[in-house]
Amino acid sequence: MSQRTFSIIKPDAVRKGYTAAILAAIEKAGFQIASIKKQSISKAQAEGFYAVHSARPFFDSLTTFMSSGPIVLMVLEKENAIADLRKLMGATNPANAEEGTIRKQFAGSIEENAIHGSDAPETAAFEIGYWFAGYELV
């Protein structure tokens, strides 16, 4: 059964001009783009999105980074979308990411790591609802 996940092309990758290459990798892997938009987000919006990480030592740095420039927000759809996108993204730290993954190819550091993808069905539902209205999903 088809599943939806939520993804962000992070500000580092947008700044470096990797948006199209990352979208191409996502489509090549069989994902349908149910919705996509480019926008700059505020620090407060980033803090709400990453609220589960609020106790982590990198929370302030992460939310400053995520609000440092335009990002591309997407809802992606395919069978097994959540796990398959995580696999395509690679490890959080690009130094540990497998060859051919998006983070191996495009990420610069453990924080500026090019792409976000939901890690479970409950987080995907929260994240899609946080950034998209139902009528925006096609």
**Residues carrying an active site annotation:** 116
The interface with ligand GDP within residues 15-44 (CB under 6 A) comprises none
Q: Is 111 in the site for ligand GDP (CB under 6 A)?
A: yes
Q: Is 96 in the site for ligand GDP (CB under 6 A)?
A: no
CA distance linking residue 57 with residue 89, whole number of Å? 23
Report how many residues bind ligand GDP under the rule CB under 6 A: 10
Which member of 21, 23, 33, 62 binds ligand GDP (CB under 6 A)?
Answer: 62
Q: Is 71 in the site for ligand GDP (CB under 6 A)?
A: no
Q: Are 114 and 14 a contacting pair, CB within 8 Å?
A: no
Q: Which amino acid is at 54?
A: S
* CA dihedral for 87, 88, 92, 94, sign (positive or negative): positive
